[in-house]
Amino acid sequence: MSKRNSGKPCRTLFITGTGTDVGKTYVTGLILKKLHENGNSAAYYKAAMSGNDRREDGTLIPGDAMIVREVAGIRQPLEEMCPYVYENAVSPHLASRIEGNPVEMEQVRKGFEALCEQYEYVTVEGSGGILCPIGMDEEEIWLEDVIQSCHMGCVMVADAGLGTINSVGLTAFYMKQKGIPLRGIIFNHYEPGNVLHEDNRRMCEHLTGVKVVACVRDKDQELRIGLEQLQDLYHGRDPQLR
């Protein structure tokens, strides 16, 4: 694990999606891979992760974190990647109601800020789509609360296929209403030359005013975006400022 230069503010980015299973985790892995392979210290974080398997000793395996580590080729310790890990494959607020250990925003921020003190780039992945309840019992927490509490801008991951104009538009409009900066869109499962996919790209940019900054094809091992353009999607922050 390489430490960042203490004189530089950490740069952060939140990865949201138009819904569950659009490929946020894999795309996030490709983002970290590009940063890591170009000499940047890069970390992954996710506030709450549900739908995980157990090891033989009964402890939970943070599956998304494992995928990101494998795709990105980073050696970040799993225990610092996600403070809340659940077994049930449901929204985190329901998983914690079933299993206990409800999410506390203070702990989420604490883990996030610890990474910001160690790494140049911290990439945070959301749970499901943008409108996701993280906790509803001890403390009411929505995904947007995590984003705003940690002062992050966002990139949206969307499926390139049918229905994406609607899902991208609704997600972008909700984020605008909540004052969440949307810096770019990444299409997943993109097929070059596919008339629908190419039109969806144009229409989503027209509808939202936000650029599709990269298109990921199935089985891609690299993110097709310039390093400087990727770095520009991140927002600098000083982890000492509260």
Who has greater pLDDT, 155 or 235? 155
165: in domain: yes
Half-sphere exposure of 48 (CA within 13 A, CB side): 31
Which H or E run includes 18?
none
- Domain of 93, in residue numbers: 10-237
14-33 per-position pLDDT tens digit: 999 999 889 999 999 999 99
pLDDT of residue 127: 94
Q: Which residues are catalytic?
A: 46
5: in domain: no
1: in domain: no
142-188 per-position pLDDT tens digit: 999 999 999 999 999 999 999 999 999 999 999 999 999 999 999 99
For residues 104 and 101, what is the distance between their CA atoms, to the nearest angstrom? 9
Give me the number of domains the chain comprises: 1
195: in domain: yes
For residues 183 and 233, what is the distance between their CA atoms, to the nearest angstrom? 6
Which of 66-70, 93-97, 136-140, 232-236 shows the lowest per-residue confidence on average (mean pLDDT)? 232-236
227: in domain: yes
How much is the mean pLDDT over the chain? 93
223: in domain: yes
pLDDT of residue 3: 53
- What is the CATH classification number for the domain harbouring 57? 3.40.50.300
201: in domain: yes
215: in domain: yes
- Burial zone of 89 (CB within 10 Å; 0-12 exposed, 13-18 middle, 19+ buried): exposed
Which H or E run includes 94?
helix 92-99
181-208 per-position pLDDT tens digit: 999 999 999 999 999 999 999 999 999 9
Is the pLDDT at 240 greater than 90, yes or no?
A: no
